[in-house]
Amino acid sequence: MEYRFSNYVERLQSSAVRDILKLTQGKEIISFAGGLPAEELFPIDAVREAADRVFRSGKNTLQYGLTEGFMPLREQLCARMAQKGMHVQPDEMIMTTGSQQAIDLITRVLMEPGDIVLVENPTYLASLQVFNLSGLDVVPVASDKDGMIIAEAERLIKQHKPRLIYVVPTFGNPTGRVWSMERRKGLLELSHRYGVPILEDDPYGDIKFDINADYPTLFSLEGKADGGNVLYTSTFSKTVAPALRTGWAIGSRNVISMMAKAKQAADLHSSSLDQQTLDQLLRHFSLDDHIQVIRQAYGDRMQQMQKLLSQQGWSDVKWIEPKGGMFLWLELPEGLDAEALLRAAVKKNVAFVPGSSFYAAEPARNTARLNFTYTQGERMATGISRFAEALNEFLARR
Amino acid sequence: MEYRFSNYVERLQSSAVRDILKLTQGKEIISFAGGLPAEELFPIDAVREAADRVFRSGKNTLQYGLTEGFMPLREQLCARMAQKGMHVQPDEMIMTTGSQQAIDLITRVLMEPGDIVLVENPTYLASLQVFNLSGLDVVPVASDKDGMIIAEAERLIKQHKPRLIYVVPTFGNPTGRVWSMERRKGLLELSHRYGVPILEDDPYGDIKFDINADYPTLFSLEGKADGGNVLYTSTFSKTVAPALRTGWAIGSRNVISMMAKAKQAADLHSSSLDQQTLDQLLRHFSLDDHIQVIRQAYGDRMQQMQKLLSQQGWSDVKWIEPKGGMFLWLELPEGLDAEALLRAAVKKNVAFVPGSSFYAAEPARNTARLNFTYTQGERMATGISRFAEALNEFLARR
């Protein structure tokens, strides 16, 4: 038969990142495209031991679990959140299949087709997919190196009456930028003045290169979960491993409870084997020490990539040194189309993500996102030299 | 702040089953309420060994996976499906977080708010939640012990022009009924005549008490995946264990591909640790032998429960002996309200699910679903005697 699809899913573009990942699987391509953590740093022995402890604790560990998530893990996570100034109770938290599902569930409980969401420009690609799948209208807010421009946000709030503001204030994807304190407070103030909730997506906050730097979350500035304006989500995908697909959301009790209702319908609960394994991991393994190892390694790799790019001596290729996270955001010469550059690059066996994927409206086509966490050493040098070869051919033609 | 919620989620009732599960956690209640498999039968040693093989195969097992699911597992599942007359390629299959997520994803890609879905009456509670969350109008079709009444289905298709027909033809939840071959073929014919796709939900098909009985799936009768009218979903939750939260859907390639796009937004992918563990389990453990053990045990428990109920000598409490699955569906005397009975039963420390939860429209209030898989022996006898005490008090008052 001829299937007729929902208009929302018809409009949905397949993620360029995921499609490139598929194309490059098993090939000799060096990829700076995916947002992949360094595999050699995965604490696999600790995870194996944690899983083993779960299995040995009894057969009932394999039974159905609570929709809200495994309670002992939520309790441990609340204690970790408190160390970062985020004070929250287990019933103000829900475990999700990655933080991606938290974005989807929050969208489903707060919004209906035709509603408006405000986002940074550019912003996280897969959040745009969630908003499109739910039939929302996405309005990008002009943003610079310090975050959303607050006056612009206010103008657009007045104009569009959005139901949600979605932001990644710390080491955003794709730009790697860190919002200034002024912008953080400014957005929070707008949220209160106009009664618009904020969804703060924070997958990268732990991966800061300067251990003494302090970037308070909007959630901690808001100062309360229940009745507060900020819904916050994070994940173990970058600090432990993505395969365990475990994220969480915290926020006002009534929102969390609505998310649980939606999640009952969406998938009943996330893998409880994964959640119990993470619970055991947190009890017998210093995740904070491990995060320190990741910070150091990723900081080194970012420096290596920066150095390799600098050595090319391009005068009109620009970037801001990331203070954390996983990505370097390049501004290429005006007029250069990064999607065409990608096609040329893939022929030379190197991949990245053209920046155009990350814009809700008119894209800056001369931008590119390079991941610096998945490759290192010789392999990174070879990859950047292939990338440079492709880019130099483009520049020579101008 | 005051949060405003989507009308769809506002209308969503929390699942009575889940709420009862919560209330009874850690208490001395004997529960016939949940759809819980028998914990003592979980093949935990085999699962532990399978997980261990995954961990020992290398750190890249903890990396991000494909949205469609772990390919070697899909290949093995295709071979298993073929043994049941369901011929399907790996790219006509997507792995999901339980079959619950398959229902949600199919709903999201095929339908928009206001669209109509036809269901059996009564039907699986959590499917109703999915349809409500997506803002659909649910139209129940009169059904008897042999399945949907085909003439009624045709009348309602003509009247409402539904976008989907959702059915559980083999050991349905809550009724345990098995559709006759005539009804299976009849519905398939309607699907073709009127161009309405069928979603066949089959979590219990493997759990048949008569090993020689053959209940062909609608998908096998349709005879093809690509371009075919039947979308089929099943799960490992009942045959291996729920904690691994792994289900799958098969069907026309374009539907599967749209589901993958939606799943990218919904959660990127399901736990790949769970999927890889199941892949290893299928390679080193005879799941078919294990299913045989489950069948035998569940068949025995069903017989025990039936015997315990029969011994009460009630003249106006009726049920049909289930040929498989996990539930016994009771018709209580006319006029008796099973929700009131539940409140009385919980005071006597026994729980079940009132049948009213499973109706999309006007419920038969004098019905109840009893699970016979989670308890056995003395405990089941005690539970049924508590249930009988509560019911006898109700009957005495009439």
- DSSP state string for A15-45: PHHHHHHHHHTTSS-EE--S-PPPGGG--HH
- Note the pLDDT of residue B398: 74
> What is the rounded CA–CA span in Å between residue B273 and residue B210?
34
- Note the pLDDT of residue B16: 59
Q: Is the pLDDT of residue A343 over 80?
A: yes
Nearest-neighbour CA in chain A from B28: distance (Å) = 16
Residue with tokens 């289905």: B153
> Where do you find CATH 3.90.1150.10 in chain B?
7-42+288-396
pLDDT digits (tens, 9 = 90+) for B197-214: 999 999 999 999 999 999
Q: 3-class DSSP state for residue B182? A: helix
A258 touches chain B (CB under 8 A): yes
The domain over range B7-42+288-396 is classified in CATH as 3.40.50.720:
no
- Note the pLDDT of residue B13: 66
* A75-79 own/partner pairs: CB under 8 Å, 24+ apart: A76/A279, A76/A282, A76/A283, A77/A248
Q: Is the pLDDT of residue B26 over 80?
A: no
Report how far apart, in Å, the C-alpha atoms of A351 and of each of A26, A125, A386 are. 14, 17, 9
Contact at CB, B252 and A3, closer than 8 angstroms: yes
- Rounded to 10 degrees, what is the CA torsion of B386, B391, B397, B398? -170
Return the closest-CA partner of residue B395 out of B350, B347, B387, B311.
B387
> What is the rounded CA–CA span in Å between residue A209 and residue A322?
9
Chain-centroid distance of CA A127 in Å reads 9
Residue A261 has its nearest CB partner, among B1, B14, B65, at B14
Pair of tokens at residue A296: 């150091």
Contact at CB, A267 and B101, closer than 8 angstroms: yes
> What is the rounded CA–CA span in Å between residue B143 and residue B145?
7
Portion 142-201 of B in contact with A at CB < 8 A? 163, 191-192, 195, 197
Lowest model confidence (mean pLDDT) among A358-372, B11-25, B167-181, B319-333: B11-25
> What is the rounded CA–CA span in Å between residue B368 and residue B345?
12
In our burial notation (b when 16+ CB lie closer than 10 A, e otherwise), range A169-201 reads bbbbbbbbbbbeeebbebbbebbeeeebbbbbb
> What is the rounded CA–CA span in Å between residue B273 and residue A355?
31
Contact at CB, B59 and A40, closer than 8 angstroms: yes
Do B88 and B225 touch, CB atoms closer than 8 A?
Answer: yes
Q: What is the DSSP string of B253-314?
A: HHHHHHHHHHHHHHTSS--HHHHHHHHHHHHHS-HHHHHHHHHHHHHHHHHHHHHHHHTTT-
Q: Is the pLDDT of residue A13 over 80?
A: no
Pair of tokens at residue B310: 């029969």
Task: Tally C-beta pairs within 8 A across A and B.
Answer: 267
> What is the rounded CA–CA span in Å between residue A47 and residue A38?
16
Q: What mean pLDDT is reported for chain B? A: 95
Report how far apart, in Å, the C-alpha atoms of A326 and of each of A34, A154, A303 are. 10, 30, 12
Residue with tokens 């990142």: A17
Q: State residue A318 phi and psi, 5-degree precision.
A: -125, 150
Residue B152: count other Cβ atoms within 10 Å of its Cβ. Answer: 16
pLDDT digits (tens, 9 = 90+) for A282-313: 999 999 999 999 999 999 999 999 999 999 99
Nearest-neighbour CA in chain B from A387: distance (Å) = 24
Return the closest-CA partner of residue A64 out of B29, B234, B237.
B237
Confidence band (pLDDT; 50, 70, 90) for B349?
very high
> What is the rounded CA–CA span in Å between residue B20 and residue B229?
37
Sign of CA dihedral A348, A352, A355, A357: positive
> What is the rounded CA–CA span in Å between residue A181 and residue A132?
30
The domain over range A10-40+288-396 is classified in CATH as 3.90.1150.10:
yes
Strands across the sheet containing B353-354: B327-331, B367-371, B353-354
- Note the pLDDT of residue B22: 65
> What is the rounded CA–CA span in Å between residue A374 and residue A17?
14
> What is the rounded CA–CA span in Å between residue A122 and residue A125?
9
Those residues whose C-beta lies under 8 Å from the C-beta of residue A147, and which sit 6 or more positions away, are A120, A167, A169, A177, A178, A179, A180, A183, A184, A187
> What is the rounded CA–CA span in Å between residue B101 and residue A389?
45
Do A179 and A146 touch, CB atoms closer than 8 A?
Answer: yes
Do B243 and A61 touch, CB atoms closer than 8 A?
Answer: yes
> What is the rounded CA–CA span in Å between residue B120 and residue B105?
20
- Note the pLDDT of residue A12: 80
B238 touches chain A (CB under 8 A): no
Those residues whose C-beta lies under 8 Å from the C-beta of residue A170, and which sit 6 or more positions away, are A178, A179, A202, A204, A205, A208, A215, A217, A324, A325
Report how far apart, in Å, the C-alpha atoms of B102 and of each of A4, A59, B96, B197 are. 18, 26, 6, 15
Those residues whose C-beta lies under 8 Å from the C-beta of residue B299, and which sit 6 or more positions away, are B209
- CATH number of A44-284, picked from 2.60.120.200, 3.10.129.10, 3.40.640.10, 3.60.150.10: 3.40.640.10
Do B353 and B394 touch, CB atoms closer than 8 A?
Answer: no
Contact at CB, B195 and A1, closer than 8 angstroms: yes
> Where do you find CATH 3.90.1150.10 in chain A?
10-40+288-396
pLDDT digits (tens, 9 = 90+) for B235-289: 999 999 999 999 999 999 999 999 999 999 999 999 999 999 999 999 999 999 9
Do B299 and B171 touch, CB atoms closer than 8 A?
Answer: no
Half-sphere exposure in the Cβ direction for B393 (13 Å, CA): 14
Pair of tokens at residue A236: 């173990």
User: What is the CATH code for B45-284?
Assistant: 3.40.640.10
Residue B12 has its nearest CB partner, among A22, A197, A261, at A261
ipTM of the complex: 0.96
Contacts of B22 in chain A (CB under 8 A): 66
> Residue A265's closest chain B neighbor by CA?
B130
- Note the pLDDT of residue A397: 82
A16 touches chain B (CB under 8 A): no
Contact at CB, B3 and A268, closer than 8 angstroms: no
> Where do you find CATH 3.40.640.10 in chain B?
45-284
Q: Is the pLDDT of residue B381 over 60?
A: yes
Chain-centroid distance of CA B184 in Å reads 18
pLDDT digits (tens, 9 = 90+) for A130-169: 999 999 999 999 999 999 999 999 999 999 999 999 999 9
Pair of tokens at residue B272: 């790949």
> What is the rounded CA–CA span in Å between residue B390 and residue B44?
37
Contacts of B104 in chain A (CB under 8 A): 265-267
Cis peptide before A122 (omega within 30 of 0): yes
> Where do you find CATH 3.40.640.10 in chain A?
44-284
Confidence band (pLDDT; 50, 70, 90) for A14?
low
Pair of tokens at residue B151: 């003439």
Contact at CB, A100 and B267, closer than 8 angstroms: yes
Lowest model confidence (mean pLDDT) among A210-214, B158-162, B249-253: A210-214
Confidence band (pLDDT; 50, 70, 90) for A11?
confident
